[in-house]
């Protein structure tokens, strides 16, 4: 981000002709008088000078606005209701549009009246009516797909958010020029020095009407294969404990 800021400063400065000169700290108090030339406490100044407390800076989107939009969002209202009352075992056909939320149901919470998705970060779920505006805010500065996703994933979520970000950047000529997609680099796993230092595990199948849990020791390449009826967490842990223990 710093490099982008420097680039923007450089662009602003291109409009001027200037010479950069070195001046000692003591000789450029003019540039930074408030911190470099303090005069000490001045009662008259404090008493007489008009002062303004900045209580609230203008923010284009805040919790209150999101709350208001969320209240008018028919989908989010149903989601919030399920979060508060508990989700059913299965979604009924009339709730089919809630599927993406249902799939995240264990990570959904409500904080300060706002529906949130709890991941590594607590992400506010953005009502559909605000997604466009938020997308434009995220895009301000033309960070490119990766940076926009990083910013978004720390704060917000909506269904198809990642897809919308990609679409916005791929339609933006500036993003394409400034942030071309980095070349993908494939790297091998690092070498291991002893057995069981690293184990690769995956489920395969169905093959021969079964699922198969495959564990391969990276050092010896020795495979452990366990026949499974299901691949639930409980069964997988059990198979790893007994089958490979
Ligand atoms: Zn852009």
In the predicted structure, residue 13 carries a pLDDT above the cut 90: no
Banded model confidence at residue 115, pLDDT cuts 50, 70, 90: very high
At 190 the three-state DSSP class reads: coil
Cα-to-centroid distance, 98 and ligand 1 (Å): 31
- Is residue 107 within 8 Å of 99, Cβ to Cβ? no
Q: Are residues 212 and 133 in the same domain?
A: no
How far is Cα 177 from Cα 180, in angstroms, rounded to an integer?
6
How far is Cα 57 from Cα 59, in angstroms, rounded to an integer?
6
Structural domain includes residue 116? yes
Better-predicted residue by pLDDT, 177 or 21: 21
Structural domain includes residue 49? no
The predicted model scores a pTM of: 0.53
At 60 the three-state DSSP class reads: coil
Cα-to-centroid distance, 34 and ligand 1 (Å): 38
Return the structure tokens found at 218.
Answer: 């990276």
Q: Are residues 220 and 161 in the same domain?
A: no
Count structural domains, the chain.
Answer: 2
Cα-to-centroid distance, 148 and ligand 1 (Å): 10
Cα-to-centroid distance, 218 and ligand 1 (Å): 43
Structural domain includes residue 6? no
Q: Are residues 211 and 168 in the same domain?
A: no
Q: Are residues 153 and 116 in the same domain?
A: yes
How far is Cα 81 from Cα 58, in angstroms, rounded to an integer?
32
Q: Are residues 173 and 130 in the same domain?
A: yes
Banded model confidence at residue 10, pLDDT cuts 50, 70, 90: confident
Q: Are residues 82 and 126 in the same domain?
A: yes
Cα-to-centroid distance, 66 and ligand 1 (Å): 24
Cα-to-centroid distance, 138 and ligand 1 (Å): 10
- Spatial neighbors of 115 by CB under 8 A, at least 6 apart, are 70, 76, 79, 80, 83, 108, 109, 124, 125
Rounded alpha-carbon distances, angstroms, from residue 120 to 107, 123, 150, 154 = 10, 9, 12, 8
pLDDT of residue 77: 94
Cα-to-centroid distance, 99 and ligand 1 (Å): 31
How many Cα atoms are found within 13 Å in the side-chain-facing hemisphere of 127? 23
pLDDT of residue 206: 87
Buried b / exposed e over 122-156, threshold 16 CB at 10 Å, is ebbbbbeebbeebbeebbebbbbbebbbebbbeeb
Q: Are residues 142 and 214 in the same domain?
A: no
Cα-to-centroid distance, 136 and ligand 1 (Å): 9
Beta-bridged to residue 157, according to DSSP, are 125
- Identify the domain boundary among 178, 208, 225: 178
Q: Are residues 208 and 140 in the same domain?
A: no
Q: Are residues 153 and 236 in the same domain?
A: no
Average pLDDT for the chain: 85
Cα-to-centroid distance, 119 and ligand 1 (Å): 27
Structural domain includes residue 12? no
Structural domain includes residue 36? no
Structural domain includes residue 171? yes
* Share above pLDDT 70 across residues of the chain, in percent, rounded to a whole number: 86
Pairing, β 199-207 against β 223-228:
unpaired
CATH assignment of the domain containing 138? 1.10.340.70
Residues spanned by the domain of 102: 63-178
pLDDT of residue 212: 93
Q: Are residues 166 and 208 in the same domain?
A: no
Cα-to-centroid distance, 13 and ligand 1 (Å): 22
Cα-to-centroid distance, 172 and ligand 1 (Å): 5
Structural domain includes residue 34? no
Cα-to-centroid distance, 7 and ligand 1 (Å): 15
pLDDT digits (tens, 9 = 90+) for 37-70: 666 777 777 777 666 555 554 557 888 899 999 9
């Amino acid at each position: 981000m710093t490099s982008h800021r420097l680039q923007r400063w450089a662009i602003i400065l291109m409009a001027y002709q200037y010479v950069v000169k070195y001046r000692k700290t003591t000789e450029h108090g003019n540039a930074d008088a408030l911190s470099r030339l303090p005069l000490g406490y001045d009662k008259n100044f404090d008493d007489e000078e008009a002062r303004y407390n900045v209580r609230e800076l203008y923010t284009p989107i805040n919790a209150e606005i999101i709350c208001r939009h969320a209240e008018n969002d028919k989908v989010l209202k149903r989601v919030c209701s399920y979060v508060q009352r508990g989700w059913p075992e299965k979604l009924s056909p009339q709730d089919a549009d809630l599927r993406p939320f249902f799939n995240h149901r264990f990570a959904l919470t409500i904080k300060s009246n706002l529906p949130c998705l709890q991941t590594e970060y607590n992400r506010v779920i953005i009502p559909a009516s605000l997604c466009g505006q938020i997308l434009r805010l995220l895009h301000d500065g033309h960070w490119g797909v990766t940076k926009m996703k990083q910013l978004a994933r720390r704060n917000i979520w909506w269904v198809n958010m990642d897809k919308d970000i990609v679409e916005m950047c791929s339609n933006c000529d500036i993003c394409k020029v400034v942030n071309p997609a980095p070349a993908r680099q494939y790297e091998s796993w690092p070498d291991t020095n002893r057995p069981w230092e690293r184990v690769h595990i995956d489920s395969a199948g169905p093959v021969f009407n079964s699922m198969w849990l495959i564990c391969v020791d990276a050092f010896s390449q020795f495979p452990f294969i366990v026949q499974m009826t299901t691949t639930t967490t409980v069964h997988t842990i059990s198979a790893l404990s007994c089958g490979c223990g």
